[in-house]
Structure 1
Amino acid sequence: MLRNVYVPEIYNGSNSNGNWELSMIEALQGIGVFLADGAIYDRAISLFRNRVPAFVYLESDGALPRTKPGDGRDTRDEIIGYWQGQSTFVTGLTQETCRDFTHTGYGISAISHVLETSRIQGIDLYPEFGERLRHALGFQARWERNLEPVPSWLCKGTLHRGLGPITEVGYNAMSNRLGYAMGNTQALTESRRPAGSNNLFVAWETLTHASNPA
C-alpha cells in the first residue's frame, strides 16, 4: 500500500503552498524508513533541501525569498504573489504567514519532524536547517502571542492566528538540546501545555518531547 499507492502520489512533491510539499516530504521520509528503502528516503531529503529554503525566509537569502528550483516563479511580482502578497521580508517569515498561521504551522511541524527523523537515522540536518526552524518558530510565536499591534507592513496589518500544537519538537531540539534562547517560542509552548492534537499531523508532543534533550 505505501509503496504502490502512496509513494506515486507524493514522490514528485507539489508546487502548491509550502505546507503541502513539506507534509508530502515528511510522509515520504517515514515511508522510506518503514520500508527500509534508501532511494525513497533520499528522495525525501532531496525535496526537503529544495523546499525548506523556499518556505522560511532568512535575511541572508537576499532581497527576495528563495524559490524552489523549477517552480516557474522567476519575477519579483510572482514571488510576492506566492508569498500571499507580502512584499517586506524579515527573518522567520514563511511563505504562508500571511495566509494563516494554521497552514504555516503544518509546514513548520513537518520541518521539525523531518529533522528529528533524520537525526534518529544518523544524519544531522540541524546545522543546515536549524536556523530556519528556530526563526520560523520564533517569528510565528511572537505574533501568535498577540501582545502587540500588528504593524502595517506585516500582512497588511491583519494576521489569522491559530498556530496549533506544533512547537514542542522544534523548541525541544533547538533550545533544550542545542541551547538557543527562544523566549517567545518558550512562552507560547509552556502556556499551551499539555499540547494535544490538531487531528491531522500532530499528536501529544508534550508527552514525547517536552524537556527531553535526548
Structure 2
Amino acid sequence: MRLQRPLLIPLITALVAGFAVLVPASPGAAAPPKPPAGFVHPGVLVDKAQLDFARQQVQAGAQPQKAAYDAMKASTYAAIDYTPMPRAIVECGSNSIPNYGCTDERNDALAAYTDALIWYIDRDPRYARKAIEIMDAWSAVLQDHVNTNAPLQTGWSGASWSRAGELIKHTFPGEWVQRGRFETMLRDVYLPEIRNGAGCKNGNWEMIMMDAMIGIAVFLDDRADFDQAINIWRGRLPGYVYEKSDGPYPKAASTCPLDTRQEIVDYWQGQEVFSDGLAQETCRDFGHTGWGLTAATQVAETAWHQGVNLYAEGKDRLMDGYAFHTQYETGTPIPANLCGGTVKLGLGPVTEVVYNHYHNRLGLPMPTTLAYTESKRPMGANYFFAWETLTHANNPR
C-alpha cells in the first residue's frame, strides 16, 4: 500500500512566496509576459515565438537547431510506423522493477511529443496524426499507476504527454476526436497521483511531479492545480539546493518536515559540509541531481510563459546549482569534503533551458554551464525531457 503524506505548506510561506512574483525585475532585466486572465497557448515549456524561431532556424539550416532537428527526425521516437504499447495498469516498482508498461509509457509519451514537434517544424500532418494516435491509444485504456514508483512514473510520462497534447491542441488545425478523453485521462489518472507532492522521497521526485503537474494544468486550463504546482515548487527548491543564506545547514522541503540537523544530514546523503549550489542528491549521484535541477527549471520555464517569474525567485539556487555540478563535470577536482572525495558524475543533457534563460534572456554569465552545454549538443530525449537544443538553444523569446 502506498502511504499518502498530507500536503504541508505553511500559509505564511505561500503568502510570502506569492508576493515575490509581484516584485519588479531589476532595470534592464527580461521580464515574463504580463499574467493573462487565462493561460497562454501553446505555453507548456515552449511558446509560439520559440517554436517559430526553431522552425526558422531549421529551415535556414542554422546551427545548432538543424543538427538537433536531424537527430530528432532520425530517432526511433520519430518513426512514422511507431506502434504505441498502452496498457490499463502501469506497474512500476523501485528502479522500475517490476516494469509492466513503465518504459513503454515513457517512450510513447516522448514519441508523441517528438511527433508534435516534427509536425510544427515540417507542417507534415502525418506526424500530428501519429501524435494523436499515440495519445488516443493510451487514453482508451489507461486506468492507474501502481507500486512504489507510481508517482514518479506519473511525473515522467505526464510531463511529456502535456507537451504533446498542448502542441497538437493549439497548433494542429485537423480533427482530434478523442481529445476530451485524453484530457479526462490526465485529469483523473495523472493529477491525483502527483497533486500532493512526494513527501520525503528524494527531491527529484517532487520536481518531476511538479513539472508534469504544471504542464497538465496549463493544458487543461486548470488554475487551481497550476497554483498548487507552483506552491510545491516554492517549498521544494530551498530544500533541494543549498545557499549559505539558509544558515549552517539546508532547509527542509515544505512537504518533508525534518526537525534536526542530523535528519537533514541523513536526507542529504550524509553530506555535512554545505556550499552554495550543493543539492540534496549530489552525493547520491549527479544523474538524479540533473533530473531534479532540470525539472525545477522546466517548471520555471512553463511558469515564465504564463507570466509567473519563478526564475527570479530561484535565481541563486538554480544558477549556483548548475555551476556547482558542471564545474566537476568539466574537470574541476573533487574536494575531499564533498561526498568523501568521490562523486558519481553524469549530470546528463539538462542545461539548455536554464542557460537560455539566465544567459540569453538576462545576459548573466554561466561559463561552466555553457562549456558543459556545448559539449552535450544536440541534446536528445530521455525519460521526461526531449530535444531542448532544438527548442531552447540561443532562443530567448
- Shared fold, TM over 0.5: yes
Q: Which amino acid counterpart does residue 173 of structure 1 have in structure 2? A: H
The match for 2:386 is 203
DSSP-derived class of the 1:150 partner: coil
Q: Output aligned runs, 1:94-173, within 5 Å.
A: 94-145=279-330, 147-173=331-357
The equivalent residue for 2:377 is 193
Render the CA deviation track for 1:95-119: whole Å, top value 9, x for unaligned.
0011001100111111111111011
Structure with greater proportional strand content: 2
State the alpha-carbon separation in 2 of the partners of residues 110 and 204 from structure 1: 14
TM-score normalised according to structure 2 size: 0.52
Structure of greater relative contact order (alpha carbons < 8 Å, 6+ residues apart): 2
What does residue 209 of structure 2 align with? 24
Cα distance between partner residues in 2 of 1:74 and 1:91: 22
Structure 1 residue 70: deviation in Å? Answer: 5.2
Q: Is the 8 A contact 2:194 2:209 kept in 1?
A: yes
- CA 1:38 to 1:87, structure 2 compared with 1: closer, same or farther past 3 Å? same
Give the 3-state SS of the residue equivalent to 2:386 in structure 1.
coil
Q: CA RMSD in A?
A: 1.0
Q: How much does 1:150 deviate? A: 1.1
Structure 2 counterpart of 1:188, one-letter code: Y
| Compared CA separation, residues 160 and 4, structure 1 to 2 (3 A) | same
Count of residue pairs the alignment pairs up: 212
Please list every run of 5 or more consecutive structure 1 residues that lacks an aligned counterpart in the other structure. none
User: Could you tell me which residue of structure 2 aligns to residue 175 of structure 1?
Assistant: 359
Partner of 1:64: 249
Amino acid across the alignment from 1:204: W
Unaligned runs of 5+ in 2: 1-184
TM-score, scaled to structure 1: 0.96
Look at both structures and tell me which one has the larger radius of gyration over its CA atoms: 2
1:42 matched to 2:227: yes
How far did 1:151 drift? 1.1
Q: Which one-letter code corresponds to 2:391 in the other structure? A: T
Shift of 1:166: 0.3
| Contact 2:236-2:255 at 8 Å conserved across structures | no
- 1:93 alignment partner, SS class: coil
Indicate the residue corresponding to 1:5 in structure 2.
Answer: 189
| 8 Å CA contact retained: 2:198, 2:255 | no
Change beyond 3 A, Cα 1:123–1:70: closer
